[in-house]
C-alpha cells in the first residue's frame, strides 16, 4: 500500500520541476515554448542541469552493450520449433480410438499446469519452457533462501503427477532447471 501522493515541486518561476524531464530525451521533440522558457530562466536552467547530471547514469546504462546469455538463442529456437509443431504428435489411446496431440498444445498444457503449480509456491516463478514431443524443460527462478534443488525436484514431481492425470503414458519427461535466483524479500 502506498502513502499519499507527494506534492509536485514547483520552481520559483512557477514551472513544475517535473516538466523539465521532457527535455532530457530529444529536446527537439519537447514543447517549443518550454525549451524557450528554460533558455531564459535561471531557475529552470539550474534545475535542468541538475536533472541532466542525474540522468548521466541512466544514459550510460542504456548505452552499455548487453551480453546475450549463453544458450538463449538455441533455447528460443527450440521453443519456436516446438510451438510450430515440427515434432511428432503425441498419441493417446482412449475409448473409441486414439487422440493425437500436436506439440504446441502439449507445451501450452505443460505451461498451464506449471503456472498452476507455481502459483501455489511463493518465491518461485516460471521463466520459460521448451521441449519436444517426449521431453520438456522448465526454467524457474527461486527466491534466495529457499532450497532450490529440493524445490525444483518437488515442482517437477507435482507437475508430472498432474500431467499424468491428463496424458497418462504420453506424459513427456520433465526436467526443471533453476535459471535464476531472486533477491530476498
Say if residue 81 is in the same domain as residue 119.
yes
pLDDT at 124: 93
pLDDT above 70 as % of the chain = 89
Domain that holds residue 165: 72-182
Task: Tell me the pLDDT tens digit for each residue of 119-164.
Answer: 999 999 998 888 766 788 999 999 998 999 999 999 999 999 999 9
Contact between 91 and 100 under an 8 Å Cβ cutoff? The reply is yes
Contact between 123 and 75 under an 8 Å Cβ cutoff? The reply is no
Contact between 11 and 47 under an 8 Å Cβ cutoff? The reply is yes
pLDDT at 43: 92
Say if residue 95 is in the same domain as residue 133.
yes
pLDDT at 6: 60
Q: Residue 158 falls within a domain, yes or no? A: yes
Say if residue 108 is in the same domain as residue 178.
yes
pLDDT at 1: 45
Tell me how far apart the alpha carbons of residues 173 and 152 are, in angstroms, rounded to a whole number.
14
Say if residue 133 is in the same domain as residue 52.
no
Say if residue 128 is in the same domain as residue 80.
yes
Task: Tell me the pLDDT tens digit for each residue of 77-130.
Answer: 766 665 554 556 777 777 778 877 777 788 888 999 999 999 999 999 998 888
Total number of domains constituting the chain? 2
All cell numbers assigned to 159 = 507437475
Q: Residue 7 falls within a domain, yes or no? A: no
Say if residue 99 is in the same domain as residue 177.
yes
Amino acid at each position: 500500500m502506498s502513502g499519499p501522493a507527494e506534492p509536485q515541486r514547483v520552481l520559483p518561476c512557477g514551472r513544475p520541476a517535473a516538466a523539465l524531464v521532457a527535455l532530457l530525451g530529444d529536446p527537439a521533440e519537447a514543447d517549443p515554448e518550454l525549451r524557450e522558457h528554460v533558455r531564459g530562466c535561471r531557475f529552470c536552467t539550474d534545475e535542468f542541469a541538475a536533472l541532466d547530471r542525474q540522468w548521466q547514469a541512466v544514459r550510460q546504462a542504456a548505452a552499455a552493450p548487453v551480453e546475450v546469455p549463453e544458450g538463449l538463442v538455441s533455447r528460443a529456437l527450440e521453443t519456436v520449433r516446438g510451438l510450430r509443431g515440427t515434432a511428432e504428435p503425441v498419441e493417446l489411446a482412449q475409448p473409441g480410438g486414439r487422440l493425437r496431440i500436436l506439440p504446441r498444445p502439449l507445451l501450452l498444457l505443460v505451461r498451464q499446469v506449471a503456472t498452476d503449480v507455481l502459483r501455489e509456491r511463493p518465491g518461485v516463478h516460471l521463466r520459460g519452457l521448451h521441449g519436444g514431443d517426449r521431453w520438456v524443460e522448465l526454467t524457474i527462478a527461486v527466491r534466495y533462501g529457499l532450497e532450490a534443488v529440493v524445490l525444483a525436484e518437488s515442482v517437477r514431481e507435482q507437475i508430472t503427477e498432474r500431467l499424468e492425470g491428463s496424458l497418462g503414458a504420453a506424459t513427456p519427461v520433465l526436467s526443471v532447471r533453476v535459471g535464476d535466483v531472486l533477491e530476498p524479500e
